[in-house]
Amino acid sequence: MKKKIFKAGVIGLGVGTHHVKALENHPNCIVKKVYDFDKSKKLNFKKNFPNIKFVKNENEIFKDKEISIVSIASYDNFHYDQIIKCIKNKKNIIVEKPICLNQKQLSSINSLLKKTNLKITSNMVLRTTGLFRQIKKKISNKKIISIEADYLWGRTYKLYQWRSKIKDYSIIHGCAIHVIDLILWLLNKKPVTVYTKGNNIGIDKKKFKKNSYVIILLKYNNNLIVKITANASSIYTHFHELKIFSKNSTITHNLQGSYEIKESKKIKKLSSKYPDKKNRSNIIHSFVDNLKNRYIRSIVDKKDIMNSMSISLAAEKSLKIGKEIKIKYEN
């Protein structure tokens, strides 16, 4: 039986280079074309991937009828228009977060995808981390009292690059959404309201005028409260800290290590891997597997993306109006 091969195109060769590698390493996929508006990347790319065509315009990817998967790893403000082009040209979509920058765009994407058989995934890589997968199993049957999750970016210089030039750039959509998705996945339930505060202390306000720190409070129907922060302005290593308090134990993950503290005060070290980068390609591999066989579930699917984006957009709205608001989810 002839093996089914999916041909892919990749737009954006920053983090998109990792997408190229993940797609090329899947036995049922090859990358046919790539595009980046920075033509200086072409020479280095061709050294590493001589058989992949570097095209002059992104539309060469969208119009290519042989290509059935498009991976979007461009700047945040381009994602929406490129997703719409994918849908119009019948391409399955891999897209870096955030998939869009406002509620109208999210509703449009959701509505258009409903009219097709196309599939979409996003690179929510924390789901693939061995440590967080171990923690998910440990808390599955526990009564959770509270959770604190911190996205410590540790790379302030990145704020002053392309992010400073995007009108609607959001530290919530660009950073906090990773932890929002992690919490959704860990708890397998959705919060009902969100309240957000933020500041831009500690950065060069002439270079970056938006919030570089936010604190987000998510409230659930059972009165559970989850605190999430995104911190892009502090000196720190890039890290995802986590504290999960349950009735019979507490789980902590920080620079000192990862531990479970039992009711007896006995402390057990958690040995699963973090950050476990080698498994991040599983997001893309599971997506291709799902295209090949619909009974194989993508690690991140459309419903997951819509839920995390709905919370992220509501958090941004709360930040702007200074009030706790109800989260509107896409159906």
Could you read off the pLDDT of 58-91 as tens digits, one per residue? 999 999 999 999 999 999 999 999 999 999 999 9
Segment 35-63, tens digit of pLDDT: 999 989 998 999 999 999 999 999 999 99
Quick check: 232 pLDDT over 60? yes
User: Quick one: pLDDT band at residue 2, thresholds 50, 70, 90?
Assistant: low
pLDDT at 191 over 60: yes
Q: Is residue 163 scored above 60 in pLDDT?
A: yes
In this prediction, residue 82 carries a pLDDT of 98
Q: How far apart are the first and last CA of the chain?
A: 39
- How much is the pLDDT for 1? 55
Name the pLDDT band for 127 (thresholds 50, 70, 90).
very high
Q: Give the residue carrying structure tokens 């258009």.
A: 112
Query: Residue range 113-133: average pLDDT?
Result: 98
DSSP 233-246: SS---SEEEEEEEE
Read off the amino acid at residue 20. Answer: V
Return the residue matching tokens 């391409």. Answer: 91
> Average pLDDT, whole number, for the chain?
96
Task: Give the span between the Cα atoms of 184 and 54, in whole angstroms.
Answer: 37
Where residue 272 falls among pLDDT bands split at 50, 70, 90? very high
Name the E strands within the chain: 6-11, 29-35, 53-54, 67-72, 92-95, 120-122, 144-152, 193-199, 213-219, 225-231, 239-246, 249-254, 257-262, 267-269, 325-326
Q: Encoding tokens for residue 316?
A: 């941004």
Q: Say if CB 311 and CB 180 are below 8 A apart.
A: yes
Tell me, what's the pLDDT at 265? Answer: 85
pLDDT range class, residue 263, cuts 50, 70, 90: confident
**Could you give the 3-state DSSP secondary structure of residue 32?**
strand
For the chain, what percent of residues have pLDDT higher than 90?
A: 96
Q: Name residue, tokens 């892009």.
A: 232
Mean pLDDT of 219-224: 97
What is the reported pLDDT for 227? Answer: 98
Backbone angles phi, psi at 183, to 5 degrees: -65, -45
